């Protein structure tokens, strides 16, 4: 897979919520997977941007593989209500849309992920979370 670099041109189809949230994600290559932790830079109905501070070279190598898949653990990103707790994590499939490698000036790796095949339940959780956060932000400023 060829990773696209961010060109600076705005291509967003969804409004982004700028929010730093801890998240687990895994990269699967040839039936093997490795789980990482990162922080979101932003999240939308269609995807999210990850800020990655460690294991960046290993990630770059894994993402360069043509058939790599990225799974996002929705339960670490947006915890379920206590009444709906589940033993198995809700993973969302995604694909890498773009990436920015770390540099000496900015040592953080950024990866833009686009969600794929999201279930209705997961889509609703993401939507409801984003709406709630925007409402909170509005109420704080008005």
Helix, strand, coil percentages, rounded to 5, for the chain: 25, 35, 35
Could you tell me the pTM of the whole model?
Answer: 0.80
Mean pLDDT of the chain: 83
Residue 1: pLDDT band with limits 50, 70, 90: very low
User: Does 80 fall in a domain?
Assistant: yes
Neighbours of 116 (CB within 10 A): 13
pLDDT digits (tens, 9 = 90+) for 80-123: 765 555 566 688 999 888 888 888 898 899 999 999 989 998 99
Task: State which residues form the domain around 132.
Answer: 17-141
Band (140; pLDDT cuts 50, 70, 90): confident
Query: Which H or E run includes 117?
Result: none
Domain harbouring 112, CATH code? 2.40.10.220
Mean pLDDT of 20-32: 86
3 falls within a domain = no
Number of domains in the chain: 1
Q: Is residue 7 part of a domain?
A: no
């Amino acid at each position: 897979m060829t990773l696209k670099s961010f060109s600076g041109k705005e291509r967003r189809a969804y409004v982004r919520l700028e929010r730093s949230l801890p998240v687990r994600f895994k990269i699967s290559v040839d039936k093997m997977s490795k789980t990482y932790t990162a922080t979101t830079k932003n999240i939308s109905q269609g995807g999210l941007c990850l800020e990655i501070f460690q294991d960046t070279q290993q990630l770059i190598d894994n993402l360069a593989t043509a058939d790599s898949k990225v799974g996002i653990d929705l339960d670490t990103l947006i915890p379920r209500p206590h009444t709906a707790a589940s033993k198995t994590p809700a993973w969302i499939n995604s694909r890498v849309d773009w990436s920015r490698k770390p540099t000496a000036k900015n040592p953080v790796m950024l990866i833009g992920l686009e969600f794929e095949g999201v279930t209705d339940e997961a889509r609703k959780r993401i939507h409801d979370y984003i709406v709630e956060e925007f409402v909170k932000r509005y109420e704080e400023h008005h």
